[in-house]
Structure 1
Amino acid sequence: MQIDAVRGVAVMGILLLNIVSFALPRAAYGDPTVYGGATGANWWAWAITFVVADGKMRGLFTMLFGASTILIADRALVQRQSPARRHYARMASLLAIGMVHAYLIWSGDILVLYALAGMIVFLAWRWEPPRLLAVAVLLLATQLVTGALDHAAARAFEARATATAAPPALREQWADYRHSLDQLRRDAATEVQTFRGGWAEILPARIAITAETQRFGIPQNMPDTIALMLLGMALYRSGFFSGAWAPRHYRTAMIVGYGICLPLYIPLVLWIDRSHFDPITLLLTDRLHLALLRPFVTLAHAALIITLVARAPGARWPARLAAVGRVAFSNYLGASLVGTFLFYGYGLGWFGHLSRWQLYPVVLALWAVMLLWSPWWLRRFAYGPLEWLWRSLSRGHRQRIRRAPS
Structure 2
Amino acid sequence: MTTASAERHLSIDAVRGFAVLGILLMNIVGMGLPSFAYIDPTHAGGATGADFWTWAVNNVLTDGKMRALFTMLFGASTVLIAERATGGALGPAATHYRRMFWLLLFGFAHAVFAWFGDVLVLYALAGLLIFPFRKLAPRTQLVIGVVVLVALLAKNVWQAQQLEALHAAANAPGATAAAVKAWQEVSVAIQASPEAAQADIAGFGGDFAAATAARLNMLQLFYFVLLPTDMLPEAIGQMFVGMALFRMGFFTLGWSSRAYAAMIAVGYLVCVPVTAWLASNIVRSGFDPLVLHEQEVWQQTTRTLIGLAHASVVLLVVRAGAAGWLIDRFAAAGRMAFSNYLMTSIITSLVFCGYGFGLYGQLSRFELIYVVAGVWAFILLWSRPWLEHFHYGPFEWAWRSLVQWKPQRFVKGTGTAAQGAG
Fold equivalence (TM over 0.5): yes
Q: CA deviation at 1:287?
A: 2.4
Alignment of 1:266 with 2:315, yes or no, is: no
Contact 1:341 1:347 in 2 (8 A): yes
Q: CA deviation at 1:76?
A: 1.3
Question: CA 1:369/1:27 → structure 2, altered by over 3 Å: closer, same or farther?
Answer: same
Residue from 346, 349, 360 that aligns with 2:355? 346
Change (3 A) 1:102 1:301: same
Give CA-to-partner distance per residue, 1:40-83, whole Å, 9 cap, x none. Answer: 10000011011111111111110110000000111111436421
The TM-score normalised by the length of structure 1 is 0.96
The structural deviation recorded for 1:369 is: 1.0
Which of 141, 154, 157 is residue 166 of structure 2 equivalent to? 157
1:225 is matched by which residue type in structure 2? A
Match of 2:251 among 241, 252, 276: 241
Q: TM-score scaled to structure 2, two decimals?
A: 0.92
Which residue among 48, 56, 65 is the counterpart of 1:47?
A: 56
Structure 1 residues 179 and 372 mapped into 2: Cα distance closer, same or farther (>3 Å)? closer
The one of 248, 251, 276 equivalent to 2:286 is 276
Match of 1:227 among 222, 237, 243: 237
Q: Identify if the C-alpha distance between structure 1 residues 128 and 297 changes in structure 2 by more than 3 Å, giving closer, same or farther.
A: same
Q: What residue is the counterpart of 2:297 in the other structure?
A: 287
Alignment of 1:261-340 (within 5 A): 261-290=271-300, 292-312=301-321, 315-340=324-349
Structure 2: which 5+ residue stretches go unaligned?
Answer: 1-9, 416-422
- Which deviates more, 202-211 or 59-68? 202-211
Partner Cα distance (2:339, 2:295) in 1: 33
Give the aligned CA root-mean-square deviation in angstroms. Answer: 1.6
Matches within 5 A, 1:25-40: 25-40=34-49
**SS of the residue aligned with 1:379?**
helix
User: What does residue 33 of structure 2 align with?
Assistant: 24
Answer whether contact 2:207 2:354 (CA < 8 A) is retained: yes
- Partners in 1 of 2:407 and 2:216 — Cα distance? 30
Partner SS state of residue 33, structure 1: coil
Q: Which amino acid aligns with 2:145?
A: A
- Contact persistence 2:190–2:293 (CA under 8 A): no
Q: What's the counterpart of residue 364 of structure 1?
A: 373
CA drift of 1:180 comes to: 5.1
The separation in 2 between residues aligned to 1:165 and 1:16, in whole angstroms, is: 46
Cα deviation 1:289-308 (Å, max 9, x = unaligned): 12x11111111111110001
Identity of aligned residues (%): 42
Question: Counterpart amino acid of 1:259?
Answer: L
Distance 2:193 2:56 in 1: 21
| Aligned-residue offset at 1:173 | 2.5
**Aligned residue identity for 2:330:** L
The residue identity in structure 2 corresponding to 1:280 is L
Distance in 2 (CA, whole Å) between partners of 1:184 and 1:124 is: 44
* Structure 2 counterpart of 1:144, from 153, 156, 180: 153
Residue aligning to 2:201? 192
The answer to whether the Cα contact below 8 Å between 1:6 and 1:305 also exists between their aligned partners in 2 is yes
CA distance in 2, matches of 1:185, 1:239: 49
- 1:209 aligned partner: 218
Query: CA 1:179–1:319 in 2, change beyond 3 Å: closer, same or farther?
Result: closer
